[in-house]
Chains A and B, each alone.
Chain A
Amino acid sequence: MESSKVIHAFYTDDEVLLDAVKTVKAAHHHIEEVFCPFPVHGLDKAMGLAPTRLAITAFLYGITGLAFAIWMTNYMMIDDWPQDIGGKPSFSWVENMPAFVPIMFELTVFFAAHLMVITFYMRSRIWPFKDAENPDPRTTDDHFLMEIPVHNNEAELTSLLSETGAVEINVVDKH
């Protein structure tokens, strides 16, 4: 695999980091990744990340769950084996529907919540036995790490980053 050099700039403050990201972006450098110990407000916008579409998937999964509940109650209670339960209308799904509202609601939530979380785990590549990929263990404690690819501009980047308040700057070979 081709090995390329990247700069790891460490910060210890979220506000300093956010300003640094803006400065680096303004100088037209590409920020490969930022690792944070906690969510920093406005960081995604400053980095130019596209908004996540997970909420939309949750909506679609919810619709799927609702449709599944309608199909299931209709198939089991009306089509396959209609029973007279307290005189409730077992011949028509629409007329029996009020009794199915709790099931329809629960399955909507069940599908929306679980499938959205599974989508999140798959998209962010997190699951059991997955190895962590943060380059430095301090990034889950109190350090923020900005990763910038180097294209023969190491000195320029280093001086830019040190002015933004980085507490440590390392040039590393990314495998």
Chain B
Amino acid sequence: MSHYEASIREPLVLGDKSYHDITEDIAKPIEGQANKNWYIAFYISLAAMLWGFGCIFYTVGTGIGVWGLNKNIGWAWDITNFVWWVGIGHAGTLISAVLLLFRQKWRMAINRSAEAMTIFAVFQAGLFPIIHMGRPWNAYWVLPIPNQFGSLWVNFNSPLLWDVFAISTYLSVSLVFWWTGLLPDFAMIRDRAVKPFQKKIYALLSFGWSGRAKDWQRFEEVSLVLAGLATPLVLSVHTIVSMDFATSINPGWHSTIFPPYFVAGAIFSGFAMVQTLLGIMRKVTNMEDYITRMHIEYMNIVIILTGGIVAVAYATEFFIAWYTGSPYENYTYLSVGAATGPYAWAFWSLIIFNIITPQLLWFKKIRRSFIWTFIISIAINIGMWFERFDIIAIVLSKGHLPSTWWRFEPTFVDVGIFIGTIGFFFVLFLLYARTFPVIAQAEVKTILKSSGEFYKKRSEQGIPTKPAIVALNATSKKEDSDNNLNG
């Protein structure tokens, strides 16, 4: 009965699959050839990436003046993009850590790719503060290391320094969590590989994983403890990012509501990006049996929940801005001033993409539709970008001194770097989808008997999951075979 699950639950693995079928399905994209669509997508992403790198070199060579920043708006696209990418990163850890603690089996089909997305997104996020320094070769000054200036240390009172610690901890812990989970799957690829070079590479990547009972016992304990550590970590990261905007004295940049609502917004946007990526990936890599309609619906439910939290936070911000009666608060990013002023287009983009569009997901038909999910996920990605843009550009455009009011216009370099990071992100993700096991196959095998369609059907008919034992014929016994076929 260890594999029992109520028959009312929809299966998470479709088709009559055996353990070996799972191996085959997950290994196929790695062992096969890339098709034309993959190459087209890859070259477009690569071109965008190179264009972005060009813009980065131009920025570093010439100076931050090539951006659209001005005296008032010292942060704009760069920090918008930074917060946007960090936010996108949140879904991966949420899926692999929080859902592990809640014993949600559906996370197993999507955690690998969501975590890959996290790591690639945090790479992009990390680029922006470093470029914004203007002298990226001095980036190590943010670390508390003994230096050549006497005992001049970093300032631990600053939220910007908290960011350094939060994001580097988050990136490195996510990376080891992801890699530890990958070891058994790399080992599976290694043990099937026929080409010697491929075998060498995957042997290296798998760290010599052998799958002993003791290894698995430790593996499960480590996963559980890492999940326990990563859960407060993922909540802390966006809390700390929000403190960049919450601990200042600018109107609009001192909201105590920011930490919880930034976290909800991050999960909201992260799940939207997971939907965007998996909507395509499940088709391209033929993973439709593993990433099912059920998975898409579950993620949409998380989107409705976190989107709801974000909507309530917006309403609160809008109300408080009005209720204070302070003229300075009337141009924060959620206020009458913002809704009717020169940035009305950005304000209404935020409302339409982030608040109104996701409400469609209340309808079960839409929530379970792949194409609608894809469209709505794109809308949320755009909406969440506008949220950060509004918080930064609208708020900074009007300060306490009316003669300094100015607006922000991005230059081609601002746009180029942003597009470049999108290209870089997709280059990494496309390479990942061709070379890594995109589904945590070892974990999916553990839920096959409880949540696989084949076994669920059988258990409804009263057939036990344990096969009948056929005693082995003594003649099939082989003597003295090679001890170590792995060489």
A and B held together in a complex:
yes
Q: Interface of A with B (CB < 8 Å)?
A: 8, 12-16, 19, 33-44, 47, 49, 51-52, 54-55, 58, 62, 72-73, 76-77, 80-81, 83, 85-86, 88, 96, 99-100, 102-103, 105-107, 109-110, 112-114, 116-117, 120-121, 123-142, 158-159, 161-175
In the bound complex, what is the Cα–Cα distance between A121 and B220 (angstroms)? 13
Inter-subunit contact B478/A36 (CB<8 Å): no
Nearest CB in chain B: distance from A85 CB, A: 5
Q: Does B355 contact A (CB under 8 A)?
A: no
CB < 8 Å neighbour of B229 from A99, A109, A121: A109
Q: Does B423 contact A (CB under 8 A)?
A: no
13 A–B contact pairs at CB < 8 A? A43-B216, A76-B156, A85-B157, A103-B165, A109-B173, A109-B233, A113-B173, A114-B173, A137-B192, A139-B210, A158-B477, A162-B474, A171-B480
CB < 8 Å neighbour of A120 from B23, B218, B442, B484: B218
Identify which of residues 469-487 in chain B touch chain A, using a CB-to-CB cut-off of 8 Å.
469-474, 476-486
Inter-subunit contact A44/B176 (CB<8 Å): no
CB < 8 Å neighbour of A40 from B177, B204, B216: B216
Inter-subunit contact A106/B169 (CB<8 Å): yes
Identify which of residues 2-21 in chain B touch chain A, using a CB-to-CB cut-off of 8 Å.
2-3, 18-20
Inter-subunit contact A132/B210 (CB<8 Å): yes
In the bound complex, what is the Cα–Cα distance between A52 and B215 (angstroms)? 10
Nearest CB in chain A: distance from B313 CB, A: 21
B303-345: contact bitstring with A at CB < 8 Å (1 yes, 0 no)?
A: 0000000000000000000000000000000000000000000
Contacts of A51 in B (CB 8 A): 217
CB < 8 Å neighbour of B208 from A36, A85, A130: A130
CB < 8 Å neighbour of A34 from B153, B156, B172, B213: B213
Identify which of residues 109-155 in chain B touch chain A, using a CB-to-CB cut-off of 8 Å.
144, 151-155
Contacts of B165 in A (CB 8 A): 102-103, 106-107, 110
In the bound complex, what is the Cα–Cα distance between A82 and B227 (angstroms)? 37
Contacts of A159 in B (CB 8 A): 474
Q: Does more than half of chain B's interface fall in helix, strand or loop, or is it mixed?
A: helix
Q: Does B209 contact A (CB under 8 A)?
A: yes
Q: A126-B215, A175-B483 are in contact. Are A131 and B203 (CB under 8 A)?
A: yes
Nearest CB in chain B: distance from A62 CB, A: 8
With both beta carbons as reference points, the residue of chain A lying nearest to B466 in the complex is identified as A15
In the bound complex, what is the Cα–Cα distance between A109 and B153 (angstroms)? 22
Inter-subunit contact A172/B481 (CB<8 Å): yes
Top 5 A-B pairs, shortest CB-CB distance: A130-B208, A137-B191, A165-B469, A142-B19, A162-B472
Nearest CB in chain B: distance from A15 CB, A: 4
With both beta carbons as reference points, the residue of chain A lying nearest to B202 in the complex is identified as A132
Q: A113-B229, A134-B191, A165-B470 are in contact. Are A33 and B212 (CB under 8 A)?
A: yes
With both beta carbons as reference points, the residue of chain A lying nearest to B155 in the complex is identified as A85
With both beta carbons as reference points, the residue of chain A lying nearest to B213 in the complex is identified as A34
Q: Does B381 contact A (CB under 8 A)?
A: no
Inter-subunit contact A37/B19 (CB<8 Å): yes
Contacts of A41 in B (CB 8 A): 2, 446
With both beta carbons as reference points, the residue of chain A lying nearest to B476 in the complex is identified as A168
Nearest CB in chain B: distance from A41 CB, A: 6
Inter-subunit contact B157/A114 (CB<8 Å): no
Q: Does B30 contact A (CB under 8 A)?
A: no
Inter-subunit contact A142/B157 (CB<8 Å): no
In the bound complex, what is the Cα–Cα distance between A116 and B218 (angstroms)? 11
Inter-subunit contact A35/B210 (CB<8 Å): yes
Inter-subunit contact B183/A172 (CB<8 Å): no
Q: Does B219 contact A (CB under 8 A)?
A: yes
- Most chain A CB inside 10 Å of its own CB: which residue of B156, B207, B209, B482: B156
- Most chain B CB inside 10 Å of its own CB: which residue of A12, A126, A174: A126
Q: A37-B188, A99-B156, A137-B191 are in contact. Are A44 and B213 (CB under 8 A)?
A: yes
Contacts of A37 in B (CB 8 A): 19, 184, 188, 211, 442, 445
Inter-subunit contact B208/A141 (CB<8 Å): no
A33-B213, A109-B233 are known; give 19 further A-B pairs, CB within 8 A: A37-B442, A40-B216, A49-B213, A49-B214, A80-B151, A85-B157, A88-B157, A103-B165, A106-B236, A109-B230, A117-B176, A130-B207, A132-B203, A133-B484, A134-B210, A137-B191, A170-B480, A171-B480, A174-B483
Q: A16-B467, A76-B154, A109-B169 are in contact. Are A166 and B472 (CB under 8 A)?
A: yes
Q: Does B221 contact A (CB under 8 A)?
A: yes
CB < 8 Å neighbour of B218 from A96, A124, A175: A124
Contacts of A83 in B (CB 8 A): 155
In the bound complex, what is the Cα–Cα distance between A86 and B204 (angstroms)? 51
With both beta carbons as reference points, the residue of chain B lying nearest to A90 in the complex is identified as B157
With both beta carbons as reference points, the residue of chain B lying nearest to A58 in the complex is identified as B225
Inter-subunit contact B226/A39 (CB<8 Å): no
Inter-subunit contact B157/A15 (CB<8 Å): no
With both beta carbons as reference points, the residue of chain A lying nearest to B243 in the complex is identified as A102
CB < 8 Å neighbour of B483 from A116, A140, A162, A172: A172
Inter-subunit contact B156/A129 (CB<8 Å): no
In the bound complex, what is the Cα–Cα distance between A127 and B177 (angstroms)? 15
Inter-subunit contact A168/B478 (CB<8 Å): yes
Q: Does B180 contact A (CB under 8 A)?
A: yes
CB < 8 Å neighbour of B221 from A36, A47, A55: A55
In the bound complex, what is the Cα–Cα distance between A129 and B208 (angstroms)? 7
Contacts of A168 in B (CB 8 A): 472, 476-478
Q: A139-B211, A140-B187 are in contact. Are A113 and B218 (CB under 8 A)?
A: no
Contacts of A40 in B (CB 8 A): 213, 216
Nearest CB in chain B: distance from A116 CB, A: 6
In the bound complex, what is the Cα–Cα distance between A173 and B188 (angstroms)? 25
Inter-subunit contact B445/A38 (CB<8 Å): yes
Inter-subunit contact B157/A96 (CB<8 Å): yes
